Structure 1
Amino acid sequence: MAGDQISPSMNEYDWLGEGAYFWESSPERALSYARLIKQYKRGQGSIKEPYVVGAVIDLGLCLNHTEEGALYPGTSFRQETHIQLCVREINCIKGYFRPLNVDGTLLQP
Structure 2
Amino acid sequence: MNNSRIIYSSDQGLLLGFHGCDQSIRDQIILGQIRMKASHNGYDWLGSGIYFWQNNHARAMDFAKNPPGKSKIDNPAVLGAVFSLGNCLDLTDKSYIDRIRESYYLLKDTFCEINTPMPKNRPAPGSLNPKDKVLRGLDYNVIETLHREIIKTGEIPFDTVRCVFIEGNPIYDDSGFYDQTHIQVCVRNPNCIKGFFLPRLEDPEWYKAA
Cα distance between partner residues in 2 of 1:50 and 1:11: 21
Paired-residue identity, %: 42
Aligned partner of 1:26 among 56, 60, 65: 56
Checking the alignment, whether the CA contact within 8 Å between 1:38 and 1:50 is kept in structure 2 is no
Deviations 1:23-42 (A, max 9, x none): 1111121011122227721x
* CA deviation profile, 1:43-62 (whole Å, cap 9, x unmatched): xxx74543211111111213
Give the alignment of 1:4-23 within 5 angstroms: 4-23=34-53
The alignment covers a number of residue pairs equal to: 100
SS in 2 for 1:91: helix
Give 4+ residue runs of structure 1 displaced > 3 Å after superposition: 46-49, 73-76
Partner Cα distance (2:52, 2:203) in 1: 22
In the alignment, residue 48 of structure 2 is paired with which amino acid? E
Indicate which of 147, 161, 166 corresponds to 1:67. 166
Rounded to whole Å, the distance in 2 between the matches of 1:76 and 1:38 is 25
Q: How does 1:1-109 map to 2 (within 5 A)?
A: 1-3=30-32, 4-37=34-67, 40-41=70-71, 47-60=73-86, 61=88, 62-63=90-91, 64-67=163-166, 70-103=170-203
Task: From the superposition, tell whether residues 31 and 77 of structure 1 become closer, same or farther in structure 2 (CA, over 3 Å).
Answer: same
CA contact under 8 A between 1:10 and 1:19: conserved in structure 2?
A: yes
Q: Work out the CA distance in 1 between the residues paired with 2:172 and 2:84.
A: 35
Q: By percentage of residues, which structure has more strand? A: 2
Taking structure 1 as the reference length, what is the TM-score of the superposition? Answer: 0.74
Task: Compute the displacement of 1:67 (Å).
Answer: 1.0
Q: Compare CA radii of gyration and give the structure with the larger one.
A: 2
Would the aligned equivalents of 1:56 and 1:94 in 2 still touch at CA under 8 Å?
Answer: yes
CA distance in 2 between counterparts of 1:19 and 1:65 reads 17
CA RMSD of aligned residues (A): 2.4
Structure 1: unaligned runs, 5 residues or longer:
105-109
Structure richer in helix, relative to its length? 2
| Amino acid aligned to 1:55 | A
Q: Give the structure-2-normalised TM-score.
A: 0.42
